[in-house]
């Protein structure tokens, strides 16, 4: 796949250049005046400093971790990966929005057709970064980086978006809301109860290693949670194999669970709640006995925005408080 990128990028640049040349010729024939230069801002994204337009009018949005922010800020988009959106952001996926498809089979021609001033790439689409910059050099990637403090990365992301879309006050409020939720969860946690993170999918339960992966693992360092199982991740994204007997042997006071399939409604779907609370092997585990199981919002796997994490920390804070 990587070996074909230069050829793909070159083809895309040629096609885009021809299209732009045609538009320029039409404008000249019509005697139109040269447009005034739009304002720009220099931000530091995942690749370094980049100059991009402020409040761009034609935005291609690919990174699902930014969708909620773009929706809340009423930023119109001209193209997006509609199969990844379901009905969560109807304002970003209307009939007038071109469909870029999924990260597994991205439709780069749709990106070219959208003629963007800015591309918000990254996360699931990070593998085609070079192709995107060949279409529009003003391509930013802001999703949380591996190996960095996750809370800081969430706030960094919205700070960059705030600069780009001239919404810096709103961005700061999102950061403040996250900090408040984390502080509440820390205060509500007794510092002693053991916690095990789990991920469910396709009728199976997987282990979410502390400090790793999406959602669940990130809570452990942020809140100082005591792990019920000390085990490094082999598959941080999807979770690692674990038996219900191993979970039962850990005897955790709390379970925090991400259901990856909750939004998809596929035939034969078994919810995380059924898998965990319906398991005979887990019936005597304190977390199940006491109702101390926190399930992430069904939309979390598709969202993963700063707003989704703020909701998660608020939910955890409420659960810890209720148990006191």
Domains of the chain: residue spans and CATH: 2-166 (3.40.50.1980), 188-323 (3.40.50.1980)
Per residue in 263-313, pLDDT (tens digit) is 887 788 999 999 999 999 999 999 999 999 999 999 999 999 999 999 999
| 22-28, long-range: CB < 8 A, 24+ apart | none
Per residue in 291-304, pLDDT (tens digit) is 999 999 999 999 99
Whole-number pLDDT of residue 235: 61
Mean pLDDT of the chain: 88
Q: DSSP E strands: which ranges in 106-159? A: 118-121, 139-141
As a whole number of angstroms, the distance between CA 173 and CA 171 comes to: 5
Please identify which residue in the block is written with the tokens 């139109």. 32
Which residue ranges in the chain fall short of pLDDT 50? 1-37
* Phi and psi angles of residue 38, each rounded to the nearest 5 degrees, phi first: -75, 160
Please identify which residue in the block is written with the tokens 């979770």. 239
Q: In 3-state terms, what secondary structure has residue 215?
A: coil
Whole-number pLDDT of residue 11: 45
As a whole number of angstroms, the distance between CA 300 and CA 262 comes to: 9
pTM of the full structure: 0.87
Whole-number pLDDT of residue 282: 98
Name the nearest CA neighbour of 9 among 136, 155, 180.
136
Q: How far is CA 52 from CA 24, 42, 77, 117, 143, in A?
A: 21, 6, 16, 8, 17
As a whole number of angstroms, the distance between CA 164 and CA 141 comes to: 12
As a whole number of angstroms, the distance between CA 142 and CA 157 comes to: 5
Residue 226 bridge partners (DSSP)? 194
- As to burial, measured by CB atoms within 10 angstroms (0-12 exposed, 13-18 middle, 19+ buried), residue 177 is middle
């Amino acid at each position: 796949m990587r070996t074909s990128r230069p050829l793909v990028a070159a083809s895309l640049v040629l096609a885009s250049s021809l299209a732009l040349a045609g538009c320029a010729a039409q404008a000249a024939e019509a005697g139109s005046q040269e447009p005034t230069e739009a304002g720009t801002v220099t931000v530091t994204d995942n690749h370094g400093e980049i100059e991009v337009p402020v409040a761009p009018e034609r935005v291609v949005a690919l990174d699902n971790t930014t969708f909620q922010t773009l929706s809340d800020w009423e930023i119109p988009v001209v193209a997006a990966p509609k199969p990844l959106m379901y009905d969560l952001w109807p304002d970003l996926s209307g009939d007038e929005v071109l469909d870029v498809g999924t990260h597994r089979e991205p439709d780069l021609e749709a990106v070219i057709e959208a003629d963007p001033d800015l591309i918000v790439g990254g996360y699931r689409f990070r593998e085609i970064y070079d192709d995107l910059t060949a279409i529009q050099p003003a391509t930013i990637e802001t999703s949380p980086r591996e190996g960095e403090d996750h809370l800081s990365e969430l706030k960094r992301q919205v700070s960059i978006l705030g600069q780009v879309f001239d919404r810096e006050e709103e961005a700061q409020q999102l950061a403040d809301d996250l900090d408040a939720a984390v502080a509440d969860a820390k205060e509500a946690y007794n510092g002693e109860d053991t916690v095990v993170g789990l991920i469910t999918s396709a009728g199976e339960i997987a282990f979410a290693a502390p400090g790793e992966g999406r959602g669940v693992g990130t809570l452990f360092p942020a809140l100082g949670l005591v792990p019920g199982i000390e085990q490094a991740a082999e598959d941080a994204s999807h979770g690692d194999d674990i038996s219900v007997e191993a979970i039962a042997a850990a005897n955790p006071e709390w379970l925090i669970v991400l259901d990856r399939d909750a939004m998809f409604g596929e035939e034969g779907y078994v919810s995380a709640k059924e898998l965990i609370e319906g398991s005979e092997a887990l019936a005597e585990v304190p977390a199940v006995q006491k109702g101390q199981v926190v399930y992430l919002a069904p939309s979390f796997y598709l969202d993963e925005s700063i707003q989704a994490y703020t909701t998660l920390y608020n939910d955890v804070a409420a659960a810890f408080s209720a148990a006191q």
